Amino acid sequence: MLRQFMPDEFIESVYELDVVKLKEEGIKGIITDLDNTLVEWDRPEATPELLEWFKKVRDSGFKITIVSNNNERRVRLFSEPTGIGFIHSAKKPSRKAFVKACKEMGLQREEVVVLGDQVLTDVFGGNRARFKTILVVPVASTDGFFTKINRRVERRVLKRLKKRGLIQWEDSNRE
């Protein structure tokens, strides 16, 4: 059971995503979380750096879909100016939104990676839906109310994973 909370990979930020390596692995699509994965949870729009990252990733041939538990207004206002498709109110860790995003991109599960900052929603949901998962460090040190609760549980899960020798990376923000 504990292994379902284990990401396949860990990176410091989306900017460290190795698109060349992903291509070599046959990955063609990225399902990404929004809040604290791409931008701070309270930032309404993409940063210039993130817009450049989106361009780089798309120019490399990848499809991108944002899957967020946040409401439609929040996700739409962020996503529409970027031209990135999205699914709001995803109810992660439910598998449904991940599978829907994969279908909307016209890809198979083995061709898609899930990128997110939370073990309990992004990694657990992505693993349950049988996608490759990549955990990133949250871009902000603050969280919304419900995410704060998740982070407490997440710290316990990560502590257990580390104790069992399953975590191969170190991150002071997550211990």
- Indicate whether 148 pLDDT > 50: yes
Q: Tell me the average pLDDT across 114-125.
A: 94
- Indicate whether 168 pLDDT > 80: no
Band of the pLDDT at 166, cuts 50, 70, 90?
Answer: low
Q: What is the DSSP string of 24-71?
A: HTT--EEEE--BTTTB-TT--S--HHHHHHHHHHHHTT-EEEEE-SS-
Residue-level pLDDT at 1: 63
- Indicate whether 173 pLDDT > 50: no
- Indicate whether 79 pLDDT > 50: yes
Residue-level pLDDT at 23: 97
Distant-in-sequence, close-in-space partners of 126: CB < 8 Å, separation ≥ 6: 31, 98, 114, 116, 132, 133
1-26 pLDDT, tens digit per residue, is: 677 888 999 999 999 999 999 999 99
Residue-level pLDDT at 175: 43
Band of the pLDDT at 162, cuts 50, 70, 90?
Answer: confident
**Full set of structural domains in the chain with CATH:** 2-169 (3.40.50.1000)
**pTM listed for this prediction:** 0.84
Band of the pLDDT at 169, cuts 50, 70, 90?
Answer: low
SS3 content of the chain, % helix, strand, coil (to 5): 45, 15, 40
Q: What angle (nearest 5°) sits at the alpha carbon of residue 39, between those of residues 71 and 169?
A: 115
CA distance 135 to 123: 7
